[in-house]
């Protein structure tokens, strides 16, 4: 029984280290987008979109499972 303790400790340590490397996702407050239909493609400007939805506070990206192996900026 005492021989299993080092293996158990190593497994727990490995699990903790792996969990510490997991990515975290956060989102900001979602704007009230009830007026989004007021924006017309090809007519609305970037300023119009920012006035309605607010200024972006980061950059977006997507990692689509099965379709890509690296991040794709959107």
Q: Domain map of the chain by residue range?
A: 30-56
For 7-64, how does the pLDDT look when each residue is reduced to its tens digit (9 = 90+)?
A: 888 888 887 777 666 666 666 667 777 888 888 999 999 999 888 888 877 776 766 6
Q: Higher confidence at residue 1 or residue 52?
A: 52
pLDDT of residue 1: 47
pLDDT of residue 56: 78
pLDDT of residue 43: 94
Residues sharing a CB contact under 8 Å with residue 73, sequence separation 6 or more, in sequence order? 59, 60, 61
pLDDT of residue 44: 93
């Amino acid at each position: 029984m005492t021989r299993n303790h080092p293996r158990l400790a190593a497994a727990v340590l490995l699990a903790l280290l792996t969990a510490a490397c997991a990515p975290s996702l956060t989102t900001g407050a979602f704007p009230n987008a009830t007026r989004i239909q007021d924006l017309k493609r090809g007519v609305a400007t970037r300023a119009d979109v920012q006035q309605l939805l607010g200024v972006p506070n980061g950059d977006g990206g997507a990692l689509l499972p099965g379709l890509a192996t690296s991040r794709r900026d959107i």
